[in-house]
Amino acid sequence: MIAMDEKGNLELLNTIETMEDILDSAMRIPLSNGRCVIDAERFQELLSDMRLNLPTELKQAKNLLNDRKNILYIAKKEAEDTVHLAEERAKKILDQSEIMKQAQDKANEIITQAHMQAREIKKATNDFVEQRLADVENTLLNSLNQIRETKKALKPAK
């Protein structure tokens, strides 16, 4: 079932209910295997309303994918900057001959931490995006099921 905490989803459900009401109250054509006469213009308006409310989840999925790309790009850039900064620090430290050993150890530690941080950021980003995509997928599946039920209800009995 579609989550009704969003205005668009509630409007979509209301539109579906209105369409069902139109079908339920439609004039039946005798000897036509369950066919009926409906106000096509009104029904088309309701379909347009559905189109306006349905793409919210689709846009969310697209935005999440774009956000994921942006977050990954930013995380990669930050990691590269951190690694570059660590390498620069390492070079400066190495130039000081009296603390050469300490500098090398510190540089390696910074580089290791930068790589670990980059991996953690990437993993956290992927986990977040995967969860959001799973949520959107569930919402879309629920919407699709509602649409299928509505289409099934619209089909004349054979």
| Residue 5 confidence (pLDDT) | 45
CA–CA distance, 56 with 8 (Å, rounded to integer): 7
Q: Is the pLDDT of residue 153 over 80?
A: yes
**Among 45, 48, 47, 49, CA closest to 7:** 49
Is 19 among the domain residues? Answer: yes
Note the pLDDT tens digit of each residue in 97-113.
Answer: 667 787 788 889 999 99
Note whether residue 1 is domain-resident. Answer: no
Residue 57 lies in a domain: yes
Asked if the structure places residue 131 within a domain, the reply is yes
- The SS3 call for residue 96 is coil
> What pTM, to 2 d.p., does this model score?
0.38
3-state secondary structure of 3: coil
Does residue 91 belong to any structural domain of this protein? yes
d(CA 110, CA 41): 68
Please count the structural domains in the chain. 1
CB count, 10 Å around CB of 62?
12
Domain enclosing residue 34, as ranges: 7-154
